[in-house]
Structure 1
Amino acid sequence: MKILALLSSLLLGLAPVAYVHAEESKQPSDRVPETLGFVEWVVMNDTMLRLKARLDTGAKTSSLHATNVEEFTRGGEEWVRFQLPLGDHEDQPTEGEVDHDEVVLEFERPIHRTIRIKRKGADSQRRHVVKMEFCIAGTVHETQFSLTDRSNFSYPVLLGRRFMRDDNILTDSANSFIAQKECDYSTLEEIAKLDVAE
């Protein structure tokens, strides 16, 4: 039986409690350039969900694995609802009590913008873009994520040039997981216990 964790605090815009040790984000001009590997761990700020992220200078906009993407209207504004099945990328640390396939997180976010992606040998694809906070290398950032099904890719998160430019990040293309600081994260069991919205 699948556990559907609908995160009510996210939907109502309440301030999430996610990090104890993460540094607050700084303006790019205040930050010394930081070099990260071409793959690093990120932790989504509102759930403490840990995912592998590929830093990709070939992509302008970051992207996040999302399925069952649905548009809806809230308060006269365009929003999007989407799911993140943890079984598609089994990156979350577990104590062995819950299977990744049993946990599906559901999010709702205002649509920041919509983009059209040109794909070689295929029709162009329309994607919604949302803003989300995440922690990488001990620091919290916010960036734009296009929502797309990344279940066939090795990494559920792709961080593009906009994030790297705005946050003064350099990429070491020969190494991975070289961040000097870590972000706090939850186990799969802790995430599965998140309150279900009424």
Structure 2
Amino acid sequence: MDIEKNIKLIKTIRKYPVIGWREWVSLPELGISRIKAKIDTGARTSALHAFSLNPFTENGKNRISFEIHPLQHDTENIVTCVADVVDKRMVTDSGGHGEERYVIQTPITIAGQTWQIEITLTERENMLFRMLLGRSALRKHFIVNPARSFVTTKAHKK
């Protein structure tokens, strides 16, 4: 690699803050003040644990209500969410299984930054993380250091 390319790479890296492979995030419009997310650069789209999905139409808009257990190992705490449906698409999980999922768009906040992301809704009850944050949501916002965790906040105890 020549010197000019190295300089460009260094400037790009310095432009974005660093996050770890897992971080606490919030989804303010969904009423989720904190949820632990796995930062998954291998996944294109972000995914959120959701159950009791109930699609409906309101004022000509496709919407969905759903429930979520935002904290792993805690099925007592339930948050009911409502969002506009922006799409319904086939998603292939890491095991190669295809599933048609509802897609919503909502703001996410990490490290004081807030922006809109797309999230697919799927049942993740038996997964370690209630949320996966995919590379489409991370693009042009952060650099991921897989050797670090909870860079932006301290880990919260239940």
Choose the corresponding residue for 1:168, options 137, 141, 158.
Answer: 141
> What corresponds to 2:28 in structure 1?
45
For structure 1, the residue ranges without an aligned partner over 5 or more in a row are: 1-30, 91-99, 189-198
Q: 1:54 aligned to 2:27?
A: no
- Which whole-Å CA distance do the structure 2 matches of 1:177 and 1:158 have between them? 14
TM-score relative to the length of structure 1: 0.64
Conserved in 1, the CA contact under 8 Å of 2:32 and 2:79? no
What amino acid maps onto 2:79 in structure 1? L
SS at match of 1:162: helix
SS at match of 2:137: helix
Among all aligned residue pairs of Structure 1 and Structure 2, give the percentage whose two residues are the same amino acid. 28
TM-score relative to the length of structure 2: 0.79
Runs of 4+ in 1 over 4 A off after TM superposition: 119-122
What is the CA-CA distance between 1:66 and the residue it aligns to?
0.5
- Which whole-Å CA distance do the structure 1 matches of 2:96 and 2:129 have between them? 23
- Which whole-Å CA distance do the structure 2 matches of 1:53 and 1:102 have between them? 19
Map Cα deviations across residues 67-113 of structure 1 (whole Å, 9 max, x no partner): 11121111112111110124x615xxxxxxxxx44331111111011
SS at match of 1:73: strand
Structure 1 pair 76–48 and aligned structure 2 pair: CA distance change class (3 A): closer
- Which whole-Å CA distance do the structure 1 matches of 2:145 and 2:88 have between them? 30
Greater fraction of residues in strand = 2
Conserved in 1, the CA contact under 8 Å of 2:49 and 2:130? yes
- Which whole-Å CA distance do the structure 2 matches of 1:151 and 1:160 have between them? 19
For structure 2, the residue ranges without an aligned partner over 5 or more in a row are: 1-13
What is the CA-CA distance between 1:34 and the residue it aligns to?
1.7
> What corresponds to 2:113 in structure 1?
139
What is the CA-CA distance between 1:178 and the residue it aligns to?
1.4
- Report the count of equivalent residues: 143
Structure 1 pair 121–64 and aligned structure 2 pair: CA distance change class (3 A): closer
Q: 1:34 aligned to 2:17?
A: yes
> What corresponds to 1:196 in structure 2?
none
> What corresponds to 1:159 in structure 2?
133
- Which whole-Å CA distance do the structure 2 matches of 1:169 and 1:63 have between them? 18
SS at match of 1:142: strand
What is the CA-CA distance between 1:175 and the residue it aligns to?
1.3
